[in-house]
Structure 1
Amino acid sequence: MAKYDYDLFVIGAGSGGVRAARLAAMSGARVAIAEEHRVGGTCVIRGCVPKKFMVYASEFAHNAGIAEGYGWSASGATFDWKKFLEAKDREIARLSGIYVTNLSNAGAEVVHAKARLKDAHTVELEGKGTYTAEKVLIATGGRPWKPTDFEGAEHIITSEEAFHLPELPKRVLIAGGGYIAVEFAGIFNGLGVDTTLVYRGANILRGFDDNIRAHVAEEMKKRGIKVVLGCQHERIEKTAAGYVSHMSSGSAIETDLVMFATGRRPYTDGLGLEKAGVKLNEAGAVAVDKFSKSSADNIWAVGDVTDRINLTPVAIREGAAFAQTEFYGNPTSFDHDMVASAVFSQPPVGSVGLSEADARHQHGKLDIYLSKFRTMKTTFYGGEERCMIKLVVDADSQKILGCHVVGPDAPEIIQMAAIALKMGVTKAQWDSTCAVHPTLAEELVTMREKYVPQELGAAA
């Protein structure tokens, strides 16, 4: 008889957990995966997938204005929020169902229940009994963080509630400067909502290249988003007309909705990790080694719960590497270097590699190539939206350390750039690529003059 009920028990059926469970089950292992909400996790159910649908929906009004510049007459089209939500929910249900089907076809058992560890090998399922497993994988992702330390904080919603609003507000205040806050600011603004973005820092998108941060903020303002920096909430007052946010700057902002997008935290609450000997790091994430193994010898963790790089494709690759290592005899670790990312802001951002500031800290002397311009499409109708592209190059080796794009299709462009940077491309090799004309992306391989900031140029 088998010593354990399962060879592998996965807690959390998001992108990383599902991939690991499927691959492990396909090896012939006895696998179960528990999910307390819906199969698909943050990305499919309450993250990048529904958010991308909302981005698409919000862009049509802007595109309609462009269309007039190309000779199309105004159609008088209107937006139906409830109709959109119904279509969005149908698609999310379809995708979640595909995940369940794929798991079942692979031979994994799907359990809809909250799971917690009683010890390193024992999993208790809420209302469904207790089971044992030789190996356990934690893949519970993260949850939005909400402040509770000021008056009126109970009136705040997060991105998770934003996906299910019964109706669109006329006015919204979004607190935060990260990609979720910036993306939702573009979404609400594009859907006709009077939108204010408030962030306590000096500029939005902390962690991205400084030129990119400043450029995105300016372009957002051009689209009508009010970007307020250097202040934060002191209290929120509920009124008959909505809410008044009293800010540290002394201003009072009246809106119908207050949304906080001020970060996510690893979801480890109530998992019983301490009973299993699993240590957390200073950020409250499961501490793991390069093979995703925790401090407990038979427990691993992948995805956002480890707080390494919190991106869906990264979680998938981590889950696959775990399965290869533990169930296929092929020790594999995911390389977290040169992982591309995108911000589906308006305009969108694509970025891979180091920012200029990080590159200077790590490599010293750099060659910078930067260009701002209006696309052919924008110039034709007299628009003011400008793109930005930037290359960060090591001055000695001429290896490209970072590539950053702001403009239409930037996330699509950066995927191909990431391949070259991952392979260690030099500027000369990059420049030897013939351009595709006329495109925005051709500017990436035609930049020859090094960029000198105005203040440095004046001094020189």
Structure 2
Amino acid sequence: MAYEFERKQRIAVLGGGPGGYEAALAGAQLGADVTLVERSGVGGSAVITDVVPSKSLIATAEATNSLAEAADLGVQFFSRGETGKPVRPEIAVNLAAVNKRLMGLARQQSEDMRAELVRAGVRIVTGEGRLDGSSAIIVSTSKDSGTDFDRVEADTIVVAVGARPRVLPSAVPDGERILTWTQLYDLQTVPSHLIVVGSGVTGAEFASAYTALGSKVTLISSRDQVLPGEDADAAHVIENVFKRNGMQVLSKSRAESVVRTEDGVVATLTDGRTIEGSHCLMAVGSVPNTSGIGLEEAGVQVTNSGNIRVNRVARTSIPNIYAAGDCSDSLPLASVASMQGRTAVFHAMGDAVNPIELRNVSSNIFTQPEIATVGWSQKQIEEGIAQGDIYKLPLKSNPRAKMLGIRDGFVKLFARTGSGTVIGGVIVAPRASELIFPLALAVEQRLTVDQVARAFTVYPSLSGSITDAARAMHIVL
């Protein structure tokens, strides 16, 4: 008697960033035959040239700031001069060593992720991939003998090709003086004067970091304030810190062009002003890597910006094709990409799945101090899009903040009017990325401010400000 065995479901993942990596792992976990196609290394740009190296650089900047501010806590650094008198040493940053370390960390993280996929049974193909209709990926691999092509048949395809820095024709990066954020890690010395064009998340983070590392920084912002679109109070705090630390912030200014000179760069603004610097970072957004990969031929719908349209389970207009990460039209966050990758595969394979609720996503801006947010915003409440009460508690009243010498920041809670259900929040503080978790949990689980207030926090702690703010919003029955 002959037996027919059910064939494993075949999943092909194009792109090995956070979304593609999680999709491949999820598929292997559920018993699928999974192939991952990646051109530069597992982890994609998020690990190799973006999130991991940039946040490692920021960690060095934070360490530099801690040393510089230690005197406020009574810690003083001195060495003995030739006369035997104490001399206060300068803080020096070896940027070549810093960049070597962080790129090593990025490579190690990529290798660890690759090893994890191999252990799970995922087949990894290195090369340039493009869709061949809705049921296969063609991979081109360069070899000494020429270009080889590999065809990966699939029942389900997950596209996770990420995005790249936007390049303006009037300020084309050369990798030496005019740079994108992926090119900063080739610098051997701290720029004497770094011009940053763009005051969004990327521009603000690097402007903050390089100020701490010792650069003179000029930040060109086309808006009224830095970090347009973020919580206004949070942006105000960050801009004040920037200026206090010596950064020049040019608000309502737009760069028309950036050109290289013999020993630096010149940025020309639309009003005719010019700014001379040693280097320029172009942080003017990103472009999805969706062009020329067969999406149109496969019938996959994209937006005018080239991002792939997806629904709440990361499905595209073609039923068996999903998309995850910065190439999709969802929030460009590594955490969202990872969730999309898992959700896509769970849905494709018929496993239990909770559609992604972007309102519950917490995000963080790694300036100093950090800005973390979750849920509805104050602007949406003030515009009537959401119904809520607002309470803001400055960190300067927190005993732990006083002990640590923290001067800037706050905890802000948003609670549904009447019920007291937590619908959002903003935290501006050192390590706000860690402090936001209780609020993210409260938003996800629909906890009330009274439920949050009843949780015991350590005394003294920065997290105590969260329960203090919740207690202040007590709902009287």
Query: Does the TM-score normalized on the shorter chain lie above 0.5?
Result: yes
2:415 corresponds to 1:393:
yes
- SS of 1:275's partner is helix
2:160 corresponds to 1:117:
no
Structure 1: distance between partners of 2:388 and 2:26:
43
Q: In the alignment, which of 9, 13, 20 is matched to residue 10 of structure 1?
A: 13
Q: In the alignment, which of 298, 304, 307 is matched to residue 276 of structure 1?
A: 298
Structure 1: distance between partners of 2:359 and 2:73:
43
Which residue number in structure 1 is paired with residue 106 of structure 2?
A: 92
Deviation at 1:5, TM superposition (A): 11
Deviation at 1:370, TM superposition (A): 1.4
- SS of 1:370's partner is strand
Which residue number in structure 2 is paired with residue 456 of structure 1?
A: none
Alignment-mate amino acid for residue 280 of structure 1: V
Which residue number in structure 1 is paired with residue 120 of structure 2?
A: 106
Cα gap change, 1:170 to 1:104, in 2 (>3 Å): same
- SS of 2:138's partner is strand
Deviation at 1:411, TM superposition (A): 1.1
Alignment-mate amino acid for residue 228 of structure 1: L
Task: Indicate if the aligned counterparts of 2:171 and 2:178 stay in contact, CA closer than 8 A.
Answer: no
Q: Deviations over 1:186-231 (max 9, x none)?
A: 1111110111111101122223221112121112212222211101
Deviates most, 429-438 or 119-128: 429-438
Which residue number in structure 2 is paired with residue 61 of structure 1?
A: 64
Which residue number in structure 2 is paired with residue 42 of structure 1?
A: 45
Which residue number in structure 2 is paired with residue 241 of structure 1?
A: 263
Cα gap change, 1:2 to 1:361, in 2 (>3 Å): farther
Q: Deviations over 1:114-168 (max 9, x none)?
A: 10123222322113313122221101111111211x3777674211111332432
Structure 1: distance between partners of 2:159 and 2:391:
43
2:297 corresponds to 1:257:
no
Q: In the alignment, which of 65, 68, 74 is matched to residue 71 of structure 1?
A: 74
2:156 corresponds to 1:135:
yes
| Gapped regions of structure 1 (runs ≥ 5) | 451-460
Cα gap change, 1:40 to 1:380, in 2 (>3 Å): closer
Structure 1: distance between partners of 2:246 and 2:359:
36
Task: Indicate if the aligned counterparts of 1:278 and 1:286 stay in contact, CA closer than 8 A.
Answer: yes
Cα gap change, 1:441 to 1:324, in 2 (>3 Å): same
Cα gap change, 1:188 to 1:363, in 2 (>3 Å): same
- SS of 1:406's partner is strand
Structure 2: distance between partners of 1:364 and 1:90:
45
State the number of aligned residues. Answer: 448
Task: Indicate if the aligned counterparts of 2:173 and 2:179 stay in contact, CA closer than 8 A.
Answer: no
Structure 1: distance between partners of 2:171 and 2:196:
17
Which residue number in structure 1 is paired with residue 468 of structure 2?
A: 446
Which residue number in structure 1 is paired with residue 97 of structure 2?
A: 83
Matches within 5 A, 1:201-212: 201-212=223-234
Q: In the alignment, which of 212, 220, 242 is matched to residue 190 of structure 1?
A: 212
Cα gap change, 1:29 to 1:394, in 2 (>3 Å): closer
Which residue number in structure 1 is paired with residue 361 of structure 2?
A: 339
Task: Indicate if the aligned counterparts of 1:177 and 1:205 stay in contact, CA closer than 8 A.
Answer: yes
Deviates most, 154-163 or 99-108: 154-163
- Identity fraction in percent: 25
Which residue number in structure 1 is paired with residue 166 of structure 2?
A: 145
Deviation at 1:69, TM superposition (A): 2.8
Structure 1: distance between partners of 2:375 and 2:293:
35
Task: Indicate if the aligned counterparts of 2:395 and 2:410 stay in contact, CA closer than 8 A.
Answer: yes
Deviates most, 347-356 or 357-366: 357-366
2:430 corresponds to 1:408:
yes
Cα gap change, 1:72 to 1:215, in 2 (>3 Å): closer
Structure 2: distance between partners of 1:129 and 1:91:
32
Which residue number in structure 1 is paired with residue 446 of structure 2?
A: 424
Deviation at 1:328, TM superposition (A): 5.2
Which residue number in structure 1 is paired with residue 202 of structure 2?
A: 180
Alignment-mate amino acid for residue 352 of structure 1: V
Deviation at 1:299, TM superposition (A): 1.3
Q: Deviations over 1:214-272 (max 9, x none)?
A: 12111221222221110111222432231111112432211111111121222102211
Structure 2: distance between partners of 1:384 and 1:94:
34
Cα gap change, 1:181 to 1:91, in 2 (>3 Å): same
- SS of 2:115's partner is helix
Structure 2: distance between partners of 1:332 and 1:425:
19
Deviation at 1:70, TM superposition (A): 2.9
Which residue number in structure 2 is paired with residue 298 of structure 1?
A: 320
- SS of 1:306's partner is coil
Deviation at 1:179, TM superposition (A): 1.1
Task: Indicate if the aligned counterparts of 2:9 and 2:33 stay in contact, CA closer than 8 A.
Answer: yes
Cα gap change, 1:153 to 1:60, in 2 (>3 Å): closer
Deviates most, 74-83 or 207-216: 74-83
| Gapped regions of structure 2 (runs ≥ 5) | 79-88, 141-146
Q: In the alignment, which of 24, 28, 38 is matched to residue 25 of structure 1?
A: 28
Task: Indicate if the aligned counterparts of 2:346 and 2:353 stay in contact, CA closer than 8 A.
Answer: yes
Structure 2: distance between partners of 1:12 and 1:304:
11
Alignment-mate amino acid for residue 143 of structure 1: R
Deviates most, 430-439 or 183-192: 430-439
Structure 1: distance between partners of 2:268 and 2:406:
33
The two structures have a TM-score, normalised by structure 1, of 0.90
